[in-house]
Amino acid sequence: MKIIKLSMVAFLLAACNKGNDNFLYNEQVLPITIKGYNATTEDLTVKVDTFNARQTILAGSFALTEGFIFKGNQQSVKLNISTKNTGKLVLEKELKKGDSAVNLNFLYMDGKASDMPEKPAVVNEKISLVYMFVPDVTKYSEPVDFVIGKYFVTPKVFEEVARIKNVKPNEFSKPATISTFSTARQDYNGVMTSVLFQVKICKTGTNTIYTDGTAYTWNDLSSTAPKPTASVAASKLYIFSEAPAGTVMRFLTRLDY
């Protein structure tokens, strides 16, 4: 993750004495953390009160951490994040002197900002998954289940391991965590078979693939939501959209984070 140090005149932490009046008795430092992912090619600028950051938020992951000094009787200020080239407001938040700290975590994509969930920490021999599904081809609008499992190729058997239920399109899911597993050829009921890590997208509460009733089909060998390597511990957040090949539904990963 790229770490961007926010550099503002107002963020300089310095003590000064004016006669017998030390500023520490009249001013308050508010810690500010801004992080997330910029999924566009637009640079973003940060402004707190009347002070502009010298650095910008570039494409990709970002993390800014500093402090803002409230002076005298100043009780609140505005934090604005805007596009650098056009000045379009992306995010605005009021900061109050009484706040103990400010933490912003957001995704900027398709010209708008939305909350960015925290990924679970990476745990040995575990895989954690968070999804946002953008069905921009089928325009599917109902909630779906992400059914995570193993597909045994020779007997054509799918074994469900975990399920993320009732996820609305264009919204982040709750995380699911499974154990890592081997995809090497192995015995399944006396038959040696290859194993695939597969994530199906089903109509919520069912095992029916969401494309049922559309012009597109699901292929057990090539249709799957994005996922990491099955045998390696990981914590992943994916945003993905539809990218069918002919009538077979496939997907385009827009964010692998």
What pLDDT digit, counting tens, does each position of 47-94 carry? 999 888 777 899 988 988 877 898 888 899 999 999 999 999 999 999
Do 99 and 142 sit in the same domain of this protein? no
Q: How many domains does the chain have?
A: 2
Backbone φ and ψ of 181, nearest 5°: -155, 160
Beta bridge partners of 77: 95
Residue 197 near residue 227 (C-beta atoms within 8 A) = yes
Q: Are 47 and 53 in contact, with CB atoms under 8 Å apart?
A: yes
**Can you tell me which residue has the tokens 């559309």?**
214
H or E segment to which residue 131 belongs? strand 126-134
Does residue 198 fall inside a structural domain?
yes
Query: How many helices and strands in the chain, by DSSP H and E?
Result: 0, 19
Residue among 203, 201, 200, 199 nearest 143 (CA): 203
The residue out of 68, 87, 115 marking a domain boundary is 115
Give the residue from 63, 89, 115 where a domain finishes. Answer: 115
Strand partners, 128: 177, 235
Residues 109 and 167 in one domain: no
Task: Tell whether 130 and 191 lie within a shared domain.
Answer: yes
Mind listing the pLDDT tens digit for each residue in 168-188?
999 999 999 999 999 999 999
What pLDDT shows up at residue 26? 60
Quick one: tokens of 54? 């010298």
Q: Give the amino acid at 257.
A: Y
Q: What are 188-216's pLDDT values in tens digits?
A: 999 999 999 999 999 999 999 999 999 99
Q: Residue for token digits 């993390």?
A: 63
Segments forming the whole domain that contains residue 100: 9-115
Distance of CA 236 to the CA centre of its chain: 9
Selection from 88, 87, 38, 36 nearest residue 59 by Cα: 38
pLDDT at residue 83, rounded to an integer? 96
Strand partners, 127: 178, 234
| Listed residue (16, 13, 5) closest to 67, CA to CA | 13
203 and 183 in a single domain? The answer is: yes
Phi-psi bin for 10: left (phi > 0), alpha (psi -120 to 50), beta? alpha
Same domain? 133 vs 251 = yes
The predicted-structure confidence for 117-169, as pLDDT tens digits, reads as follows: 989 999 999 999 999 999 999 999 999 999 999 999 999 999 999 999 999 99
- Integer Rg of the chain from CA: 24
Torsional sign, CA 166, 170, 172, 178: positive
